[in-house]
Amino acid sequence: MARALIRTALADLDASAYRDTAELLTAELVANAVEHTAGKGPIELVVRRLAGGCRVEVHDRDPEPPGDLTTWDDTPPDPWQEHGRGLLLIRALSAACGHRRTDGGKAVWFTLPDLRAP
């Protein structure tokens, strides 16, 4: 469902060049939210057009930082571990990424640069 929603949002924003990368990264964020916050409330997908690209956020009701995102500093995740490869993909394929607290929990996000032709 998240892949279809991001595809539609990017089409509406005339940002279809993002589609494959955005679908993959969105699926990773949503899967993490479902796995780690099950039963704690709904998950919300927010897509915003920025002056320099696009920002995708996944909001959930759990205020705790994502477990596998605590290494978003200079320590790369181990690509051979069962968990943590999603983080590696997000860090490698996005222009920026991170997480922040919200009034209702937290938002985990990534941005992609503007890929439209000038």
**Would you say residue 40 lies in a domain?**
yes
pLDDT value at position 19? Answer: 82
- Helical segments of the chain, H only: 2-12, 19-37, 85-93
Distances (CA, A) of 27 to 30, 43, 74, 116: 5, 12, 24, 23
Please give the structure tokens belonging to residue 21.
């990368």
**Would you say residue 99 lies in a domain?**
yes
CATH number of residue 62's parent domain: 3.30.565.10
Place of tokens 């596998």: 68
pLDDT value at position 70? Answer: 44
pLDDT value at position 78? Answer: 64
**Would you say residue 118 lies in a domain?**
no
Inter-axis angle of helices 2-12 and 19-37, to 10 degrees? 140
What is the number of domains present in the chain?
A: 1
**Would you say residue 69 lies in a domain?**
yes
pTM here is 0.80
**Would you say residue 62 lies in a domain?**
yes
- Containing structural domain, residue 52: 2-113
Number of Cβ within a 10 Å radius of residue 8: 11
**Would you say residue 29 lies in a domain?**
yes
pLDDT value at position 9? Answer: 82
Ranges under pLDDT 70 in the chain: 13-17, 67-84, 115-118
**Would you say residue 53 lies in a domain?**
yes
**Would you say residue 83 lies in a domain?**
yes
pLDDT value at position 54? Answer: 87
